[in-house]
Chain A
Amino acid sequence: KNQVEQSPQSLIILEGKNCTLQCNYTVSPFSNLRWYKQDTGRGPVSLTIMTFSENTKSNGRYTATLDADTKQSSLHITASQLSDSASYICVVSPDNNDMRFGAGTRLTVKP
């Protein structure tokens, strides 16, 4: 069983709408959690990184939250744009050298 579970597996929304992606993890110990955006055929690009003591981090229209007690994170996208269509991958690190990847949520934004 993957230690990082993401939901939904895929999501289709209309341009301009908001959406929230979920990440639940069992990785322990915990060092940090990242959200990456991966466009089709490209490598992942980091959006946010949060440590144990942080419970929210924003990057433009992207806002990530972290509840380290329940081991849950979410990525909220506001006022979606066509260019937001991508896979969003949650990555949890137990230490500075190890990254555990979720399978990703495939987001499609339609006009």
Chain B
Amino acid sequence: DTGVSQDPRHKITKRGQNVTFRCDPISEHNRLYWYRQTLGQGPEFLTYFQNEAQLEKSRLLSDRFSAERPKGSFSTLEIQRTEQGDSAMYLCASSQTEAYNEQFFGPGTRLTVL
């Protein structure tokens, strides 16, 4: 499968714990995006990378959230001291730098904070 992959698909954690998610984009794509989606809503932009550079971060990305893409390939999203409000689907997408910049989404990581 040459699409965007995410790991894990599901994560259940206790409030206050740290969690880390991984995203592997489509190999030739140089842009990588993270989104958060809650039930019944569309995805909300969190941050994006062009190669290894993090170019934009949403105000939704509090100090407890950090994302990296160290070699311009896979990316990780870490949430420290999780809160119940962090429970959501975390989606990753990738794209090439071209006209219309179509983003291809991964299957998401469903986070539940107890």
Contacts and interface: CB of A to CB of B under 8 A. Distances in A.
A9 to B, nearest CB: 8
**Chain B contact residues, majority secondary structure:** loop
Contact of B100 (A32, A43, A104): A32
Interface string B29-56: 0000000000011111100100000000
A96 B107 CA distance: 23
Nearest to B106: A43
A99 B108 contact: no
Contacts of A36: 105
Number of chain A interface residues as a range: 20 to 34
A106 B41 CA distance: 10
Given A31-B100, A43-B93, A101 B43 contact: yes
A77 B93 CA distance: 26
Interface of A: 4, 9, 31-32, 34, 36, 41-46, 49, 51, 89, 91, 93, 96-97, 99, 101-104, 106
Interface of B: 4, 40-45, 48, 89, 91, 93, 98-108, 110
